[in-house]
Structure 1
């Protein structure tokens, strides 16, 4: 786990730095500079591009990780990389050619009062293709076990660009309409930067010959396409469905709550980037013992870190919403709770997804992905449109879907490999998280109202005090009960 922890630690710092910048954008700049309607449109466009990105990528980002370590000679690796670099075009080009049809379909699903989307749908396609090629070249560097620079581009680049563009809107250097244009250009530039970096890591000799197992590669990519889209569908289809019933401002309100709830998943995103190639390598070498070792250690460490941030986010979210300028953002506490619970449960399962995606049983990802997509769609329709649960219903649909299908994946890996991610310490940790949540969720520090130039900083003080108290108690219990050897070793390095 040495290289895993080393790069995961760096990536976690980068991701949380990106989340802080994203938080400033989401909670402070977006609502004030773009206002709810235009922010809702931006959230809609980006969510739509996230939905079709896995399709345009043709699953190649996963294919590279699975197959690269199986080749033993440079010639085989070069043939493989020379081939996969062009495969996304097989889907991206036809989608672009028939975009008028997709445009009409999108507008048919949008309520009349949200016609602001009309002139911006082609940006969905451009961003999706740019993101598809970014992910391809990011995987190119992952198999070289170099994830940090790509993680900076993936997590920091867009958020920093958004901050700069929002400030440019505020100072009237650009218009709100130009914001979308320049943001799209930033996504395209990012893909080219990632490409140049990937080639600097490993520049193949380009062959016009297909690898011997090209049919297996295409077959795997076809199966994995929907598996790659499942995560995006679960969260982004919600924002796509909102304009079909309510004003697009609600997409902005929901996007903020989902962003806050997703804050806890940063360690998972950081660790997964290096766990995927290592798990694939262990599986290709038939080293089941190392697969199990990665499975258990990733589970306990992700739950440990994710559990702390789950507590910090949910126990301070009511105070956080008091800082929002638009009252429409308030009331999203249950959305935050359900989304963060879904993320925490996924983290609890460690490298479960990496094991399935990179094993010989990868075909199960197709029915799982289809099942998740269909389930969340029908549950969204039931809770949001039919029963009128509002955005709480969308979050509930996501939570139910993730619990059901992640539990199935847990059972599947145990059945095929006879391994689980759990240890006795896992359940001790779950108990600690539960007790601390119940203890701190229902009260806040009763600090006096303090205002600076009409802005109340009392919620900030309450959040700060509660976070300090929770963190001290949580870390003390982790050390006292020796929940994670890696966590203890990391703390000892700081003591020295």
Structure 2
């Protein structure tokens, strides 16, 4: 776990810096500078682009990681990279033609409830394309165990650029409408930066040659497109569908709530960058025991970290919403519902990495497709009834069922199990921390209140987790920090 801990810590720090910037953007600058309508529009465009991303990337970002180690020579690896870079054109060109000739029909459909959407629909595939190729070049550096810089570009640089343009709106250099158009340039800029870095890490000799295992590559790409679509639909279809039922400014309220809850998933995203290629390597070498150990350690480590973040959010959520514009507090229940679903998904550790590199990914994929159908159906039922909370209820049910299904496949089919007795202990510490800190507040300014309560929660939660020795990796890191401080 040495390399996992080292790069995961770096990725986590970078990702949280990015989330800190993103929090300022999401909780304050978007709402204050753009206004609810254009903020809601941005939320819809980015959600739709995220849904399109797996299709625009043709699934090759995961395919690159899975098959890269199977090629023994640098020449074969370079040929493989060239091939996967060209593959997305098979879907990009037809989509471009459909968008060009059928724009009016598509845009009219998406703007039935909110007419403002009509003029911006064409930006969705453009941003989706930039996201897709970014992930491809990011995968290229991951297989060379260089994930940190990609995390910086994705989590920090992207948000810094957004902040710059939001300030440009505030100082009247550009209008909110121009900001929406600038989003395309921002995502294209991060793509270019990622491409340049990928070529510096390992520049291949571009040579288009069909690999011997082309059938296996196409098959895997196809299923990754579907599985990636399943994952993004489960995450973003709620915001996408809200556009059809309620005023677009409500998407702004929902986006803030989702952002707050998504902070819980940051440790998983950070650890995934390095555990994914390691999981692929262990599985290709058939090292079952080492894989099972990695599975357990990633699960309990993420549970401890994620539990702290979940409690930190829930005990401070009411104070946070008191400093936000009116209307945004409608998302409090959304934070609770989505936060619980994220926490459950978090404690599955590197479950996704295991499934996507196993022979069972097809079966889980088809189950995922069923759950997407269920998600859409639940949103159609609950959004008209309960608005924002309805979308959150639908998402909670869908993500929980999908996570449970993936867990059962790994346990029953691959004889891998992520949980130990410490899983129950960690859950108990999380519940106890919530009960102790949720029902009281200091009588200070909300920001002061949040800071003080967060410090106390952190000391209580981590102290108890350390004493009970819930996670050996967490204790190792804490011991290292304590030793350094005591030496000083």
Deviation at 1:443, TM superposition (A): 2.9
Distance in 2 of aligned mates of 1:304 and 1:27: 26
The equivalent position to 1:473 in structure 2, one of 460, 463, 486, is: 460
In the alignment, which residue of structure 1 is the partner of 2:378? 379
Distance in 2 of aligned mates of 1:203 and 1:415: 42
Deviation at 1:405, TM superposition (A): 1.6
- Once the two structures are superposed, the pairs formed by residues 12-411 of structure 1 within 5 Å of their partners are 12-100=12-100, 101=102, 104-112=105-113, 114-325=114-325, 327-385=326-384, 388-411=385-408
SS at match of 2:315: helix
Distance in 1 of aligned mates of 2:34 and 2:187: 20
Deviation at 1:207, TM superposition (A): 2.3
Preserved CA contact (<8 Å) 2:58 2:87: yes
Distance in 2 of aligned mates of 1:389 and 1:230: 24
Preserved CA contact (<8 Å) 1:61 1:135: yes
Deviation at 1:75, TM superposition (A): 2.5
Deviation at 1:370, TM superposition (A): 0.6
Preserved CA contact (<8 Å) 1:304 1:429: yes
In the alignment, which residue of structure 2 is the partner of 1:443? 440
SS at match of 1:212: coil
In the alignment, which residue of structure 1 is the partner of 2:486? none
Preserved CA contact (<8 Å) 1:111 1:246: no
Preserved CA contact (<8 Å) 1:55 1:225: yes
List per-residue Cα deviations over 1:42-84 (Å, max 9, x = no partner): 1111111111111111111110111111222222212211210
Preserved CA contact (<8 Å) 1:264 1:306: yes
Deviation at 1:444, TM superposition (A): 2.1
Preserved CA contact (<8 Å) 1:283 1:358: yes
Normalising by the residue count of structure 1, what TM-score does the alignment of the two structures yield?
0.95
Distance in 1 of aligned mates of 2:161 and 2:206: 34
SS at match of 1:331: helix
Distance in 2 of aligned mates of 1:303 and 1:71: 36
Deviation at 1:291, TM superposition (A): 1.1
In the alignment, which residue of structure 1 is the partner of 2:479? 492
Q: Which runs of 5+ in 1 are unaligned?
A: 449-457
Distance in 2 of aligned mates of 1:46 and 1:109: 14
SS at match of 1:26: helix
SS at match of 2:35: helix
Preserved CA contact (<8 Å) 2:38 2:177: no
Name the count of aligned residue pairs.
Answer: 482
List per-residue Cα deviations over 1:137-174 (Å, max 9, x = no partner): 00011000110110111111221111110100110111
Preserved CA contact (<8 Å) 1:111 1:245: no
Distance in 2 of aligned mates of 1:328 and 1:281: 49
Runs of 4+ that moved beyond 4 A? none
Preserved CA contact (<8 Å) 2:12 2:267: yes
Q: Which runs of 5+ in 2 are unaligned?
A: 484-488
Distance in 2 of aligned mates of 1:443 and 1:106: 49
Distance in 2 of aligned mates of 1:225 and 1:47: 17
SS at match of 1:85: helix
Preserved CA contact (<8 Å) 1:227 1:368: no
Preserved CA contact (<8 Å) 2:60 2:221: yes
Q: Could you say what the CA RMSD is over the residues aligned between the two structures, in angstroms?
A: 1.3
Deviation at 1:93, TM superposition (A): 1.5
1:415 aligns with 2:443: no
Normalising by the residue count of structure 2, what TM-score does the alignment of the two structures yield?
0.96
SS at match of 1:444: coil
List per-residue Cα deviations over 1:371-411 (Å, max 9, x = no partner): 221111111111112xx111111111111111112111111
In the alignment, which residue of structure 2 is the partner of 1:433? 430
SS at match of 1:468: helix
Distance in 1 of aligned mates of 2:221 and 2:456: 48
Preserved CA contact (<8 Å) 2:28 2:324: yes
Deviation at 1:423, TM superposition (A): 1.0
SS at match of 1:332: helix
Indicate how the Cα distance of structure 1 residues 107 and 438 shifts in structure 2: closer, same or farther if over 3 A, else same.
farther
Distance in 2 of aligned mates of 1:278 and 1:6: 14
Distance in 1 of aligned mates of 2:343 and 2:18: 19
Preserved CA contact (<8 Å) 1:223 1:365: no
Deviation at 1:362, TM superposition (A): 2.1
Indicate how the Cα distance of structure 1 residues 102 and 407 shifts in structure 2: closer, same or farther if over 3 A, else same.
farther
- Once the two structures are superposed, the pairs formed by residues 447-458 of structure 1 within 5 Å of their partners are 447=443, 458=445
Distance in 1 of aligned mates of 2:206 and 2:364: 31
Preserved CA contact (<8 Å) 2:253 2:330: no
Distance in 2 of aligned mates of 1:143 and 1:103: 42
Distance in 2 of aligned mates of 1:473 and 1:380: 38
